A and B are shown apart, each in its own frame.
Chain A
Amino acid sequence: MAREKVVEHYDVVIIGGGPAGLSAAIYTGRARLKTLLLEKSLIGGLATYTNEIANYPGFPTAPKGEEITNLMKEQAKIMGVNFKLTAVSSVDLKGEEKIVETFRNKYIAKAVIIATGGRSRTTGAENEEKFLFDKGISFCATCDAAANTGKHVVVIGSGDAAIEEGMFLTKFADKVTVSVMHDYPKMDCNEIAKEAVFSNPKMEFVWNSVVTRFEGNDHLETVVLKNVKNGEEIPLVSDSCFEFIGYLPNSELFEDQLTLTRQKYITVNEKKETELEGVFAIGDVTDKYLKQIATAVGDGAIAGTVAERYIAEKEFFDTKIMQSEKTGMIYVYNAIDAPSREFLGTIESIEKSQNGNVAVSRIDTYKSNGLALMLKVEQVPAIVIVKEGKISEKIYALDEVAIKNAL
Chain B
Amino acid sequence: MKEVMLDCFGEACPVPLVKAQNKIKELEIGDVLIVQIDHSCAMKNVPEWARKDGYNVEVEEVDDGEWEVIIEKTK
Contacts and interface: CB of A to CB of B under 8 A. Distances in A.
Contact of B57 (A3, A83, A86): A86
A5 to B, nearest CB: 12
Given A84-B60, A86-B57, A87-B57, A104 B30 contact: no
Interface in B58-75: 58-61, 70, 72
Nearest to B74: A103
B56 interface: yes
Nearest to B72: A103
Contact of A83 (B1, B47, B61): B61
A315 B72 CA distance: 38
A84 B1 contact: no
B19 interface: no
Given A41-B47, A41-B51, A104-B70, A84 B30 contact: no
A85 interface: yes
B30 A85 contact: no
A292 interface: no
Contacts of A83: 61
Q: Is the interface of A mostly helix, strand, loop or mixed?
A: loop
A48 to B, nearest CB: 11
Given A3-B1, A3-B30, A41-B51, A85 B59 contact: yes
A103 B56 contact: yes
B60 A85 contact: yes
Nearest to A103: B56
Interface residues of A, number: 12
A102 interface: yes
A41 B47 CA distance: 8
A103 B30 contact: no
Contacts of A84: 58, 60
Interface in B24-65: 30, 32, 47, 51, 56-61
Contact of B47 (A3, A85, A103): A85
Contacts of A86: 56-59, 70
Interface in A57-106: 83-87, 89, 102-104
A85 B68 CA distance: 10
A104 B72 CA distance: 9
B71 to A, nearest CB: 10
Nearest to A85: B59
A83 B60 CA distance: 8
Contacts of B30: 1, 3
Contacts of B58: 84-86, 102-104
Nearest to B31: A3
A87 B32 CA distance: 16
A97 to B, nearest CB: 22
A133 to B, nearest CB: 17
Interface string A1-31: 1010000000000000000000000000000
A88 B58 CA distance: 10
A103 B32 CA distance: 11
Most chain A beta-carbon neighbours within 10 Å: one of B47, B51, B58, B60: B58
A87 B70 CA distance: 12
B48 to A, nearest CB: 8
Contacts of B1: 1, 3
Nearest to A77: B61
Contacts of A41: 47, 51
Contacts of A102: 58
Nearest to A2: B30
Given A86-B59, A104-B72, 13 more contacts: A1-B1, A3-B1, A3-B30, A3-B32, A3-B72, A85-B59, A85-B60, A85-B61, A86-B58, A103-B56, A103-B72, A104-B56, A104-B58
Interface of A: 1, 3, 41, 83-87, 89, 102-104
6 contacts: A1-B30, A3-B1, A85-B61, A86-B59, A103-B72, A104-B70
9 closest cross-chain pairs (CB), A and B:
A86-B58, A85-B59, A103-B56, A103-B72, A104-B58, A3-B1, A86-B57, A85-B58, A102-B58
